[in-house]
Structures are given as structure tokens and as C-alpha cells.
């Protein structure tokens, strides 16, 4: 049995820790989970976001995403509630249908952070989106069949692309196939 991990540095949002065997990692001190949303319109367009990310020093193409439990007095916010909030804040959309696709580590060698991927359909535009507090999020609509090429084109322009986009699309394929097959029974 090992003892508690040593806190090497505690910042406002992250804590840098070290195990008794020397492994170093970061953990979020202001949230209980992360959510990412594959939102697909009725005409099969995937809603992606673009924003500047300081750790990579560039614009990044991502799924709408955010933290759960990071709002004061809402530390026990359920993941689905956070996903709904983040989708509306970043893209301006609300979704009628929600499915959990998967939960997994974001970078297991560096952080204990877990990301829950949601699939959202039955979308209705409510606001312009763009994020909150100066996030300056740009919203993109890309036909599902064009996502890979569109993302490669963004990379060629010098942007980064979050791989969770492709994981979510693959996972959603299974959900769509099982839903579509039920229509024949």
C-alpha cells in the first residue's frame, strides 16, 4: 500500500503531484469531470469548435467540450447537465436526444482526468454560441462524410485537431446502426 501522492505545486485549477515511486502528473482541483459532445444536425453536419489553446500555442479544432463541477455552488453537477450547458454555451444549440458514447482517460500518462463523450441529436439553435467569458469560440458545421478531409485541411493551415472527434464519430456509428436496424422490426 502506498501513501498519498505528494502535491508538488497547487495552482488555481491544477495540482502537480508526484507518487512515492516518482511518477509526476496533474489533476484538476476545480472540476469533477470533463465532457465532450458529438453534436450532429438533422442534415448530418457535425458541429465543431475552434479556439486558441495556450498549451499548444495555436487554434485547435475540437468537439464542444468543458468541465463538470467547475462552477461555484454546483460542484456536484451531473455530467449530462454539464454537457447540455457546454453545448449551448459554445455552439448555441440544445439537443433533444443524448447518448453516452464512452468514458475514458484523456492522457493517462499525464493526468487522472476522465472525459465522457456524448452523442447529441435533435438539435435546435437557441443562441449564437461562442462561449462565455471571452472564450472567443468559432463554430464550424462540417458534413459528416467530409470531417476527415476538412480536419486535414485545417492541419495543413497550421491548426491542431483533437483526435476525440474521430473517436466519437466511430463510436456514434455503432449507435446509429443499432437505432437504424430497429426501424426494420
Asked whether residue 28 carries a pLDDT value surpassing 80, the answer given is yes
Do 93 and 11 lie in a common domain? no
Do 16 and 83 lie in a common domain? no
Do 76 and 11 lie in a common domain? no
Number of structural domains, the chain?
2
pLDDT of residue 50: 98
- b/e map 73-95, b = 16+ CB within 10 Å: eeeebebeebbbbbbbbbbbbbb
Do 145 and 98 lie in a common domain? yes
Do 9 and 75 lie in a common domain? no
Do 138 and 51 lie in a common domain? yes
pLDDT of residue 133: 83
Domain of residue 138, CATH code:
3.90.79.10
- Rounded to two decimals, the pTM is 0.90
List, for residues 124-160, the tens digit of each pLDDT value.
999 999 998 888 999 999 999 999 999 999 999 999 9
Q: Report the range of poorest mean pLDDT among 21-35, 74-88, 169-183.
A: 169-183
The conformation of residue 108, written as its DSSP 8-state character, comes to T
Domain with 132, as residue range(s), is: 32-182
**Percentage of residues of the chain with pLDDT beyond 70:** 94
Mean confidence (pLDDT) of the chain = 92
Do 64 and 137 lie in a common domain? yes
Amino acid at each position: 500500500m502506498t501513501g498519498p501522492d505528494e502535491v508538488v505545486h497547487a495552482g488555481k485549477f491544477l495540482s502537480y503531484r508526484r507518487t512515492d515511486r516518482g511518477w509526476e502528473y496533474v489533476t484538476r482541483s476545480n472540476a469533477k469531470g470533463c465532457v465532450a459532445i458529438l453534436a450532429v444536425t438533422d442534415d448530418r453536419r457535425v458541429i465543431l469548435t475552434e479556439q486558441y489553446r495556450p498549451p499548444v500555442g495555436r487554434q485547435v479544432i475540437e468537439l464542444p467540450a468543458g468541465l463538470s463541477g467547475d462552477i461555484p455552488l454546483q460542484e456536484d453537477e451531473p455530467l449530462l447537465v454539464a454537457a447540455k450547458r457546454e453545448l449551448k454555451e459554445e455552439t448555441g444549440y440544445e439537443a433533444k436526444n443524448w447518448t453516452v458514447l464512452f468514458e475514458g482517460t484523456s492522457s493517462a500518462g499525464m493526468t487522472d482526468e476522465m472525459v465522457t463523450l456524448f452523442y447529441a441529436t435533435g438539435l435546435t439553435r437557441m443562441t449564437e454560441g461562442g462561449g462565455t467569458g471571452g472564450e472567443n469560440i468559432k463554430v464550424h458545421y462540417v458534413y459528416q462524410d467530409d470531417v476527415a478531409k476538412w480536419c486535414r485541411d485545417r492541419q495543413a493551415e497550421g491548426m491542431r485537431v483533437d483526435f476525440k472527434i474521430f473517436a466519437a464519430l466511430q463510436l456514434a456509428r455503432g449507435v446509429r446502426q443499432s437505432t437504424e436496424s430497429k426501424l426494420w422490426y
